């Protein structure tokens, strides 16, 4: 009885692993067939030499970096201030940070484009709108990560100690609070990075160069290069999650966006 | 305590005498005005401009006549009267239901096998790591991975063809609902594993031992102890998976090139090309999604709270 259960457990696990790895193996094998007759990394070379790839990829990197910086600058002071001075605002803020879960990205994009593509609110072409939108869709992860980080430290005591030594608010935030919650911030930052780099819809409808729209075009026009890109993208996801679990110690790493 | 009482009274008397003797109070007692709320203004301003206002226009403009701005429910009625719109909701709901239930079942089996199946610990650790990655590996790359595996020239299809059987001659295609469901499972069941694992950890061994002492067999333990405890968590997570699939667009768009009629894809084409011919209906279409998602997330939250009682 006991061993039969164990056999069944192994069976389920192996089935899961097959399902997990087979598509990746197929993609990898496929990506090596760009040269007729023998295996090569030609598809990867082609991708890295494509100026559009460079444009899309650096685009995504820039959006991700700006989103993370903007997110930190907006959410750390807010979460800090709410904990310290205006606990009444807490419920409202938590509710707002969860709204992106309820509004699917395509619906959010729809509302955003329709709202900001008419004068006087004609900012649909501005790169700032894209960064703001990314900040919103990564908000549930970023804000929550920061808030959890603040919960773990004694915000009030640290602040009062810093104040009695003569520190101003800027010093308190940047030299006391942020260094103390850096693990939480990094956690949120890598999740945001994974979301932004994998995100298709916003970049596509706001017409900005990014990784996912580039790959989408490539699927329609090329055979082997998308396979190479899928592998690169998988390696990126893996790296992000690896870093998160390395720095985060048991924190759950999951993203809802980008599906 | 009682010795202090008179002293207080004495002080009070003293102050009131002082007040009586002095000229009128210089400053009337005023509640101290706090400017602390100013600190959260940037957050509210930002979320209002880039989340709340654009989202709320979806609600308001759904109920507004085109151009005139008068209140109307025509847009909503059009949703229910247009067959291909209804059909798109139906297909989205069907795919989300199938992959939510399938993902929940398989994810639960996997998590249970890894945690309570008597397997070495590294299985559990690596499963959770894989699931963390897989639940994030979605969209365009995921679609392509399945094209490489299951398209007519895909690796697995080529292997199966060696046996003389070609699934594509027997009704299988990757590019319709069946295929898409299979792809969605890739990010559905890992999410289930990640969320249900703590609940399975919370099933105490003592409960099984206690039920065994009382003479219960394994089926009875599941029927009367484990299943009722896990039920809210299972249902809640299934609902979450439903929402996860319902809002998805990138995977389907990349896999089918937009040929499958999902609500999300329909909204996408309305956004880029006004395919509905009436902007109000586009808003109503989006509103329908938000309503369904809101119901799903509320259900999830309520059920998750019920589970937490047992997981302390």
- A-chain residues within 8 Å CB-CB of B289? 104, 107
Q: What is the pLDDT of residues B63-81, one digit of tens each?
A: 888 777 788 888 888 889 8
Residues A73 and A19: their CA atoms lie apart, in Å, by 41
Q: Measure in Å the smallest separation between the Cα of A220 and chain B Cα atoms.
A: 8
Confidence of residue A1 (pLDDT cuts 50, 70, 90): very low
The pLDDT of residue B206 is 87
Residue B16 included in any domain: no
Residue B20 included in any domain: no
The CATH number that applies at residue B300 is 1.10.3720.10
Say whether B26 sits in a helix, a strand or coil.
coil
Residue B28 included in any domain: no
Which of B55, B119, B283 shows the shortest C-beta gap to A108? Answer: B55
Task: Tell me the two tokens of residue B267.
Answer: 């909204």
> Is the pLDDT confidence value at B111 over 70?
yes
Same domain? B180 vs B290:
yes
Provide the chain A residues 141-180 that lie in CB contact (below 8 A) with chain B.
none
Mean pLDDT value of segment B287-300: 90
The pLDDT of residue B26 is 62
The pLDDT of residue B176 is 86
Q: What is the pLDDT of residues A163-191, one digit of tens each?
A: 999 999 999 999 999 999 988 898 889 88
- B-chain residues within 8 Å CB-CB of A241? 129, 132-133, 136
Q: How many C-alpha atoms does B53 have within 13 Å on its Cβ side?
A: 14
Same domain? B87 vs B44:
no
Partnered with residue B71 across adjacent β-strands are B64
Residue B293 included in any domain: yes
Q: Measure in Å the smallest separation between the Cα of B309 and chain A Cα atoms.
A: 20
Backbone angles phi, psi at B71, to 5 degrees: -70, 140
Chosen from A34, A53, A72, A110 to mutate, greatest number of chain B CBs within 10 A: A110
Say whether A121 sits in a helix, a strand or coil.
coil
Mean pLDDT value of segment B46-57: 93
> Is the pLDDT confidence value at A22 over 90?
yes
Chosen from A99, A106, A134 to mutate, greatest number of chain B CBs within 10 A: A106
- Contact across the interface for A96 and B272, Cβ inside 8 Å: no
> Is the pLDDT confidence value at B22 over 70?
no
Q: Which domain holds residue B53?
A: 33-62
Closest CA to B147 of B261, B259, B254, B250: B254
Any residues with CB less than 8 A from the CB of B85 and at least 6 apart, and which? B78, B79, B266, B276, B281, B285
CA-based nearest residue in chain B for residue A4: B117
Partnered with residue B64 across adjacent β-strands are B71
**DSSP letter at B276?**
T
Q: Measure in Å the smallest separation between the Cα of A204 and chain B Cα atoms.
A: 10
Same domain? B38 vs B138:
no
Going from N- to C-terminal start, the domains of chain A cover 50-248
Residue B303 included in any domain: yes
> Is the pLDDT confidence value at A5 over 60?
yes
Q: How many C-alpha atoms does B258 have within 13 Å on its Cβ side?
A: 10
Residues A105 and A114: their CA atoms lie apart, in Å, by 14
Q: Measure in Å the smallest separation between the Cα of B229 and chain A Cα atoms.
A: 22
Residue B287 included in any domain: yes
Burial of B170 (0-12, 13-18, 19+ CB in 10 A): exposed
Residue B207 included in any domain: yes
Mean pLDDT value of segment A106-133: 87
Residues A98 and A90: their CA atoms lie apart, in Å, by 13
Chosen from B145, B259, B268 to mutate, greatest number of chain A CBs within 10 A: B145
Task: Report the Cα–Cα distance between both ends of chain A, in Å, rounded.
Answer: 41
Confidence of residue B301 (pLDDT cuts 50, 70, 90): confident
- Asked if the C-beta of A22 comes within 8 angstroms of chain B's C-beta atoms, the answer is yes
Average pLDDT along chain A: 87
Same domain? B106 vs B154:
yes
Same domain? B115 vs B41:
no
Average pLDDT along chain B: 84
- Asked if the C-beta of A220 comes within 8 angstroms of chain B's C-beta atoms, the answer is yes
Q: How many C-alpha atoms does B47 have within 13 Å on its Cβ side?
A: 22
CA-based nearest residue in chain A for residue B288: A107
Q: Measure in Å the smallest separation between the Cα of A125 and chain B Cα atoms.
A: 15
Q: What angle do CA B245, B251, B257 make, to 5 degrees?
A: 130
Q: Measure in Å the smallest separation between the Cα of B135 and chain A Cα atoms.
A: 7
Confidence of residue A58 (pLDDT cuts 50, 70, 90): very high
The pLDDT of residue A128 is 92
Q: Which CATH superfamily is domain A50-248 in?
A: MetI-like (1.10.3720.10)
Same domain? B55 vs B86:
no
Instruction: Report the number of distinct structural domains present in chain B.
Output: 2
The pLDDT of residue A105 is 92
CA-based nearest residue in chain B for residue A107: B286
The pLDDT of residue B290 is 92
Q: What angle do CA B123, B129, B135 make, to 5 degrees?
A: 125
- B-chain residues within 8 Å CB-CB of A90? none
Same domain? B162 vs B270:
yes
Q: What is the pLDDT of residues B249-281, one digit of tens each?
A: 999 988 988 888 999 999 998 888 877 777 888
Task: Tell me the two tokens of residue B184.
Answer: 């969605």
Mean pLDDT is lowest, of A137-141, A156-160, B198-202, for B198-202
Mean pLDDT value of segment B119-126: 87
Residue matched to tokens 């890992």: B190
- Contact across the interface for B271 and A109, Cβ inside 8 Å: yes
The pLDDT of residue B130 is 85
């Amino acid at each position: 009885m006991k061993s039969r259960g164990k056999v069944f457990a192994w069976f389920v696990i192996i089935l899961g692993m097959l399902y997990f790895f087979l598509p990746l193996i197929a993609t990898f094998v496929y990506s090596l067939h760009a040269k007729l007759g023998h295996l090569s990394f030609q598809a990867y070379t082609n991708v890295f030499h494509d100026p559009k790839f460079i444009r899309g990829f650096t685009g995504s990197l820039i959006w991700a970096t700006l989103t993370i910086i903007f997110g930190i600058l907006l959410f750390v002071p807010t979460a800090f201030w709410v904990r310290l001075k205006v606990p009444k605002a807490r419920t409202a803020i938590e509710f707002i940070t969860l709204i992106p879960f309820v509004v699917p990205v395509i619906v959010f994009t729809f509302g955003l484009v329709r709202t900001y593509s008419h004068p006087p609110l004609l900012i649909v072409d501005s790169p700032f709108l894209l960064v703001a939108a990314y900040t919103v869709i990564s908000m549930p992860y970023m804000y929550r990560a920061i808030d959890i980080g603040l919960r773990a430290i004694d915000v009030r005591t640290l602040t009062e100690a810093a104040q009695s030594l003569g520190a101003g608010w800027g010093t308190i935030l940047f030299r006391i609070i942020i260094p103390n919650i850096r693990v939480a911030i990094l956690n949120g930052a890598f999740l945001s990075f994974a979301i932004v780099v994998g995100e298709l819809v916003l970049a596509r409808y706001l017409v900005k160069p990014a990784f996912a729209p580039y790959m989408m075009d490539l699927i329609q026009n090329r055979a082997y290069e998308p396979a190479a890109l899928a592998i690169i993208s998988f390696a990126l996801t893996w790296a992000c999650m690896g870093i998160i679990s390395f720095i985060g110690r048991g924190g759950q790493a999951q993203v809802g966006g980008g599906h | 305590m009682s010795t202090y009482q008179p002293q207080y009274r004495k002080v009070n008397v003293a102050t009131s005498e002082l007040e009586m003797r002095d000229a009128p109070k210089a400053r009337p007692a005023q509640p101290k005005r706090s400017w602390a709320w100013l600190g959260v203004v940037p957050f509210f301003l930002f979320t209002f401009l880039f989340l709340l206002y654009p989202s709320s226009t979806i609600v308001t403009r759904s109920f507004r006549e085109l151009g005139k701005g008068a209140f109307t429910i025509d847009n909503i009625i059009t949703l229910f009267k247009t067959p291909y719109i209804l059909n798109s909701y139906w297909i989205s709901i069907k795919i989300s239901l199938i992959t939510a239930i399938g993902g929940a079942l398989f994810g639960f089996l996997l998590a249970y096998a890894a945690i309570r199946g008597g397997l070495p610990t590294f299985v559990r650790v690596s499963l959770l790591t894989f699931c963390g990655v897989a639940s994030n590996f979605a969209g365009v790359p995921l679609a392509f991975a399945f094209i490489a595996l299951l398209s007519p020239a895909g690796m697995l299809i080529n292997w199966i063809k060696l046996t003389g059987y070609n699934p594509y001659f027997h009704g299988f295609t990757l590019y319709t609902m069946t295929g898409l469901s299979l792809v969605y499972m890739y990010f559905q069941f890992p999410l289930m594993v990640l969320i249900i694992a703590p609940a399975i950890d919370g099933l105490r061994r003592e409960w099984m031992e206690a039920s065994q002492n009382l003479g219960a067999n394994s089926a009875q333990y599941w029927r009367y102890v484990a299943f009722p405890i896990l039920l809210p968590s299972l249902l809640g997570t299934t609902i979450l998976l439903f929402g996860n699939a319902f809002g998805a667009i990138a995977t389907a768009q990349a896999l089918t090139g937009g040929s499958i009629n999902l609500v999300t894809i329909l909204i996408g084409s309305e956004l880029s090309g006004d395919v509905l011919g009436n902007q109000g209906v586009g808003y109503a279409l989006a509103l329908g999604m938000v309503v369904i998602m809101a119901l799903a997330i509320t259900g999830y939250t309520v059920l998750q709270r019920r589970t937490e009682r047992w997981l302390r």
